[in-house]
Amino acid sequence: MVASIGYYALVITFLASLYGAGAAAYGALKRKPEFVESGRYAMLLTWPLLTVASVAIIWLLTTGHYEIGFVASVTSNSMPTYLKVTALWGGQEGSLVFWAWLMAAFTSAASLRKWDRDRELLPWFIMVTMITLAFFLSLVVFFENPFARLWLSADGQQVTAMLQPTGAIPLNPPDGRGLNPLLRHPGMIIHPPALYLGFVAYVIPYAFAMAALITRRSDDRWIRITRRWTLVAWIFLSLGLILGGRWAYDVLGWGGYWGWDPVEIAALLPWLAGTAFLHSVMVQEKKGMLKHWNVVLIILTYALVLFGTFLSRSGVLSSVHAFAKSAIGPMFFVFIGVTFIVSLSLLINRWEMLKGENFLTSVFSREALFLLNNFLFMGILAVSFWGVIFPLISELITGQKITVGPPFYERANGPLGLGLLILMAIAPLSAYASTTWKTIGRALWKPALVTLLVPITFYFAGIQNPIALLGYTAAALVAFVTLYEFWRGAMARHRRHGETLPLALWRLVGRNRRRYGGYIIHLGVVLMAFGIIGIEVYQTETQATLAKGEQVTLGRYVMTYDDITVFDTNDGRNVARAVVSVYQDGKLVDELYPRKDYYYDSQQAVTIPGTRSMLADDFYVILVGLDPDSRSDATFKVYHNPLVNFIWIGGIVFSLGTIVAVWVSRGRRRANKASPASRSTRT
Amino acid sequence: MGEVTKKRTGQGKFLLGGFLIVAAIVYLIASSTQAAAQYYLTIDELFARGEDLGDRDIKISGVVDGDTIQYDVKNLMLRFTIANVPADLDEIEEAGGLAEALHIALEDPHATRLEVEYIGVMPDLLRDEAQAIVTGRMGEDGIFYADELLLKCPTRYEGDVPLQAEGE
């Protein structure tokens, strides 16, 4: 009953989105506003309908309706309720519905804006978003139906279908298989929704860009309208990536946070295009340049969002994240191809209209440096994309599968990343139109002089790896330049208005949130770079099989293996929990409990590291295994991860910076409040 | 009009700069691919290619024969034998999924086999009929010396995420 309600809600939403797209486009072409209006109502209907479908799935998940194939595959009796709810995005079918639900919510929210000044964009915005939504819904309605029931067919096969196949009898399993234990982690509750929010929110600027092209608007209106949406998309995508790294660090038990896994890259690609977009739109707003390029970037971001979803959902590449091989692969392929080609054709058709209003004049002008930034981001994108598709291409051309591992990405992206860091130090000092090396030099020499102390100090402190020294110097330069910019701005206010320094700093940021929010983001990146270089260059590890009382040494640390207990829990796990003592320079500093949980229902073990986490370093212990004969000798893998916490701290600073940049400024809020009349006339 | 052409003349250096950056990126991609590429082979392909693989790292996939697993706990030395599994996805589909394909491959007495040595902790997932993906190089003695060992255990549940463990 509930399953049928949910399924028909999906079907109706699918039809409504198709109708919405068609009616809006027809209304715009034939100049019949009543059709556009009708299309808009259809669009506004999608979110409540998808809420019904989502609630139906959640209800089935939490009440143990294991006769539904999806429910049986991601939940089991032993799972706590909150995990049953979040199992919505733990499997293919549910996560596609969740994607569609978020998309409908964002589309509805974006459509509630005031359209007075750009009413002609509305129908095309509806068309683009509703076609995207219809595509995702077609996947769940026709291929990956979360409401399909389990049946035992006449020849004894287990099948899932919405309607009873002839000769089949219904199956009612008493319990489900349960969510993949690796996904039963708090990080996994937030990581996919954050990523999806980022993915979905990028559809909004893309839809506005397409609407602007169709209606032949050559101004930067679409960019101004979607500025905040772009930032929201970007922050969620960034958060999704950072949380994913944290989850990998906590759960996957290999001492790392990023492994250049194809699906990690799939989420990174739209982020790279989106970050380039974020920078280059500023050039269009200020100088009326790069108009074609910005459209290309948003088309690319949209295509990569689809590609990212495709990679993780289609099973085309083997990866830790991949779900099973699925029929939806070709569908995605076609949809990405068609939307990409149609969007680009539209751009080429409107090419003349988007002529730039200015030319580049000076190599050190801000617009030239922004362009360079874009080149570097595109470079990293090209490298990463190449790495993902290279095995497929090589197999296609030579018949031989050739893969590239993390060394490829590190070797090729390393120099580009360093270039970005250096650019981050120089670009904030440049001005639009014309900047000479001299003007930059004048602003740069003081922070550069301070920066010189960093490699010298580090060198004598024992950090002599050239890559680390180079990276730290570049990062330090960014930090000092950025802090100096804050200082200069605050001092100027202090002198001019007589404000106290903290107040001057506060107002400085408040008056130009986008700029100073951006600088705070840069500082977050510096902190992350600090941590990344630390762990990448200076991570050490060792492994040992120990009897109780024995010890293993790693650098300044000594770890003794004290005890182990093995027990069953009431949620279906067998837990092996070791107790180890950690000594630093001969002093007992901590006791850790690395664990291995074996899940009976899915026959899978999950390794949970014991971590002593400090600002300077993490001491990270994994219980690899227990000797089956003695039941007490245990094998440990021990990592020393210097500075890894700076990655997470940097992530927090990064997020704060984005919040500053996205925050509605006081002037704008007042303007909104002052015009209640225009709000109520909004239709 | 005159002003536009005047402004345009300065664009040459930017075109050149852009071209140089693109060239640098292409070079980075090409050279890194060259440096980091690993052939991903089945055991049959490995033996067929033989000598011409030279010194580079290779990735080999095969099915673990549980009876051959030997582990020296003190020295962390692991030895086992893997049998050839076809790489063709369609062939695997035909056999009824990866688990079945692995089972069939191991039962086949004519399947080519390869002895693997790996120094490190023995992963939990190393068991009979698991798929092993080893990265390393072929020794003169016909033993494959692996630096990396990745295991996938397709469970009997269709649609489950394959189990994985990683070692270095």
- What contacts A146, CB < 8 A, 6 or more positions away? A6, A57, A68, A70, A93, A94, A96, A97, A140
CA A204, chain centre distance (Å): 16
> Are the Cβ atoms of A603 and B120 closer than 8 angstroms?
no
How far apart are the C-alpha atoms of A492 and A57, rounded to whole Å? 58
Q: How confident is the model at residue A523 (pLDDT cuts 50, 70, 90)?
A: very high
Selected residue of B8, B29, B45, B72 to mutate for chain A interface (largest A Cβ count, 10 A): B29
**Burial letters for A70-98: b for 16+ Cβ neighbours within 10 Å, e otherwise?**
bbbbbbbebbeeebbbbbbbbbbbbbbbb
Query: Which residues on chain B are in Cβ contact (under 8 Å) with A608?
Result: none
* A411–B161 C-beta distance less than 8 A: no
The helix/strand/coil state of A561 is strand
Average pLDDT estimate for A288-299: 90
Please calculate the CA angle A21-A25-A26 and round it to the nearest 5 degrees: 115
Place of tokens 């949980």: A597
* B121·A383 Cβ contact <8 A: no
Closest to A530 in 3D by CA, of A449, A454, A609, A459: A454
Residue window 25-64, chain B: list those with CB within 8 Å of chain A. Answer: 25, 28-29, 31-33, 35-41, 59
**A324 to B159: CB separation less than 8 angstroms, yes or no:** yes
Interface probe for B, chosen from A408, A540, A542, A600 (most Cβ of B below 10 Å), is A408
Q: Which two three-digit tokens encode residue A214?
A: 């169709």
Residues of chain A in contact with residue B10, where contact means CB-CB under 8 angstroms, are 359-361
Residue A616 lies in a domain: yes
Q: Tokens standing for A469?
A: 């020294």
Q: Answer with the one of A180, A210, A235 that is the final residue of a domain.
A: A180
Q: Is position A577 within any domain? A: yes
B:67-106 residues touching chain A, CB 8 A cutoff? 73-74, 76, 87, 89
Nearest to A526 by CA among A481, A566, A577: A481
Q: Which of A606-610, A656-660, B113-117, B122-126 comes out lowest in average pLDDT?
A: B122-126
| Euclidean distance between CA atoms A526 and A514, whole angstroms | 18
Has residue A570 been placed in a domain? yes
User: How many whole angstroms separate alpha carbon A365 and alpha carbon A281?
Assistant: 16
Nearest to A185 by CA among A80, A256, A258: A80
Q: How does pLDDT run across A73-118, given as a tens digit for each residue?
A: 888 888 888 889 988 888 778 889 999 999 999 999 988 887 877 8
Q: Are strands A595-599 and A610-613 parallel, antiparallel or unpaired?
A: unpaired
- The residue to which tokens 């996805």 are assigned: B89
Measured between beta carbons, which residues in chain A are less than 8 angstroms from residue B38?
Answer: 402-405
Residue B1 pLDDT class (50, 70, 90 cuts): very low
Task: List chain A residues with CB under 8 Å of B28.
Answer: 379, 383, 411-412, 415-416
Chain A neighbors of B7, CB-CB under 8 A: 358-359, 361
Q: Which residue has the higher pLDDT, B131 or A141?
A: A141
Cα separation values, A331 from A138, A145, A595, Å: 10, 15, 42
* Inter-chain residue contact B76 with A375, CB threshold 8 Å: no
**Residue B51 binned pLDDT confidence (cut-offs 50, 70, 90):** low
Which residues of A are less than 8 Å from B122 in CB distance?
624-625, 635
> Taking a C-beta distance cutoff of 8 angstroms, is the pair A18, A130 a contact?
yes
Looking at CA atoms only, how far is residue A403 from chain B in angstroms?
Answer: 5
Q: Which residue does chain A place closest to B31, by CA atoms?
A: A412
Q: Which residues of chain A are within 8 Å of residue B54 when distances are taken between CB atoms?
A: none
Partner residue facing A368 (CB), from B14, B39, B157? B14
pLDDT at A364: 80
d(CA A238, CA A260): 16
- Determine the residue type at A422: I
Q: Looking at the domain assignment, is residue A674 inside a domain?
A: no
| C-beta atoms of B40 and A361 within 8 A | no
pLDDT in tens, A406-464: 889 999 999 999 999 999 998 888 878 777 778 888 888 888 999 999 999 999 988 88
**One-letter amino acid for residue A622 of the chain:** I
**Cβ–Cβ gap B10/A627 under 8 Å:** no
Q: Cα–chain-centroid distance for residue A393?
A: 26
- Alpha carbon distance A274, A230 (integer Å): 8
Q: What percent of chain A stands above pLDDT 90? A: 48
| CA distance to partner chain A, nearest, from residue B34 (Å) | 9
Cα A115 to its chain centre, rounded Å, is 30
pLDDT above 50 (res B158) = no
Residues in chain A closer than 8 A to B36 (CB atoms):
404-405, 407-408, 411
Q: Which of B25, B58, B122, B129 to mutate to test the interface with A (most CBs of A within 10 A)?
A: B25
Closest residue by Cα to residue A476 from A424, A514, A536 = A424
Percentage of residues in chain A with pLDDT exceeding 70? 94
Q: How confident is the model at residue A14 (pLDDT cuts 50, 70, 90)?
A: very high
Per residue in B34-47, pLDDT (tens digit) is: 888 888 888 888 88
Among A418-427, A628-637, B141-150, name the one with the lowest average pLDDT.
A628-637
B14 touches chain A (CB under 8 A): yes
Of A85, A34, A38, A95, which is closest to residue A59 (Cα–Cα)?
A: A85
B163 pLDDT band (50/70/90 cuts)?
very low
Tell how strand B37-42 and strand B58-72 pair up: parallel
DSSP-assigned letter for residue A173: -
Q: DSSP per residue over A131-172, as a string?
A: HHHHHHHHIIIII--TTPEEEE-TTS-EEEESSPPTT-EE--
Q: What is the mean pLDDT of residues B96-117?
A: 80
- Strand pairing class (B58-72; B131-138): antiparallel
The CATH number covering residue A73 comes to 1.20.120
Q: Which of A361, A405, A602 sits opposite B36 (nearest CB)?
A: A405
| Nearest CA-CA distance, residue B108 and chain A, Å | 24
Partner-chain contact B33 A407, CB within 8 Å: no
CA distance B66 to chain A (A): 16
CA pair distance A125, A354, nearest whole angstrom: 20
The Cα of B162 is separated from the nearest Cα of chain A by a number of Å equal to 8
| Residue partners of B81: CB distance under 8 A and separation at least 6 | B64, B65, B68, B113, B114, B115, B116
**What distance in Å separates the CA atoms of residue A253 and residue A636, rounded to the nearest whole number?**
11
- Burial class of residue B168, CB neighbours in 10 A (0-12, 13-18, 19+): middle
Q: Is the dihedral of CA A323, A329, A333, A335 positive or negative?
A: negative
User: How distant, in Å, are the alpha carbons of A140, A272, A276 from that of A297?
Assistant: 29, 10, 8
Structural contact between residues A520 and A653, judged by C-beta atoms closer than 8 angstroms: yes
A480: helix, coil or strand?
helix
Name residue, tokens 């083997």: A318
Which of residues A147, A163, A180 is at a domain's end? Answer: A180
Residue A560, domain member (yes or no): yes
**Is there a contact between B29 and A383 if contact means CB atoms under 8 Å apart?**
yes
* Per-residue confidence (pLDDT) for residue B160, from 0 to 100: 35
pLDDT digit string (tens) for A217-275? 888 888 888 888 899 999 999 999 998 888 888 877 777 888 888 878 989 999 999 99
CB pairs under 8 A, 24+ apart, for A659-667?
A659/A235, A659/A517, A660/A509, A660/A513, A660/A516, A660/A517, A660/A520, A661/A231, A661/A513, A661/A514, A661/A517, A661/A518, A661/A521, A662/A228, A662/A231, A662/A232, A662/A235, A662/A517, A663/A513, A663/A517, A665/A510, A665/A513, A666/A510
Q: Give B74-99 pLDDT, tens digit per residue.
A: 777 899 999 888 766 556 666 666 67
Comparing CB atoms, the residue among A254, A375, A383 nearest residue B21 is: A375
What integer pLDDT is reported at residue B94 of this predicted model? 63
Whether B157 has a pLDDT exceeding 60, the answer reads no
Q: Is residue A65 part of a domain?
A: yes
Which residue would you say has higher pLDDT here, A645 or A353?
A645
B146: closest CA of chain A, how far (Å): 15
Look up residue A127 and give its amino acid. Answer: M
Q: How far is CA A128 from the centre of its chain?
A: 23
Alpha-carbon torsion, ordered A415, A420, A423, A428, to 10 deg: -170
Alpha-carbon gap, residue A235 to A241, rounded angstroms: 10
Please tell me the distance in Å from B138's CA to the nearest CA on chain A. 17
Nearest to B32 among A408, A602, A635 (CB): A408
| Token pair in block for residue B42 | 């089945």
**10 Å Cβ neighbour count for A682?**
10
Work out the angle at residue A271's Cα, subtended by the Cα atoms of residues A331 and A96, and round it to the nearest 5 degrees.
35
Q: Chain A closest CA to B149's CA: distance in Å?
A: 13
Alpha carbons A560 and A581: distance in angstroms, whole number: 5
Q: Is the pLDDT score of A346 beyond 60?
A: yes
Q: Are A78 and A601 in contact (CB under 8 A)?
A: yes
What's the total number of domains in chain A? 2
Alpha carbon of B7: minimum distance to chain A alpha carbons (Å): 7
Contact A85, A58 (CB under 8 A): yes
pLDDT exceeds cutoff 90 at A300: yes
Domain that holds residue A556: 540-646
Nearest Cβ partner of A408 from B33, B39, B157? B33
Query: Do A89 and A95 contact (CB within 8 A), yes or no?
Result: yes
Taking residues A558-582, what's their average pLDDT? 91
- Asked, for residue A225, whether it belongs to a domain, the answer is no
Task: Say how far residue A542 (Cα) sits from the centre of its chain.
Answer: 32
Which of B32, B40, B161 lies closest to A412 in CB terms?
A: B32
Residues of B in contact with A361 (CB under 8 A): 7, 10
Give the 3-state secondary structure of residue A230: helix
Report the amino acid identity of residue A243. Answer: L
Q: What is the mean pLDDT of residues A541-566?
A: 92
Helix, strand, coil abundance in chain A, percent, nearest 5: 65, 15, 25
Residues 108-147, chain B, touching A (beta carbon < 8 A): 120-124, 135
pLDDT at A98: 93
Query: Does residue A143 belong to any structural domain of this protein?
Result: yes
Could A324 and B11 be called an inter-chain contact, meaning their C-beta atoms sit closer than 8 Å?
no
- Residues in A closer than 8 angstroms to B13, CB to CB, are 363
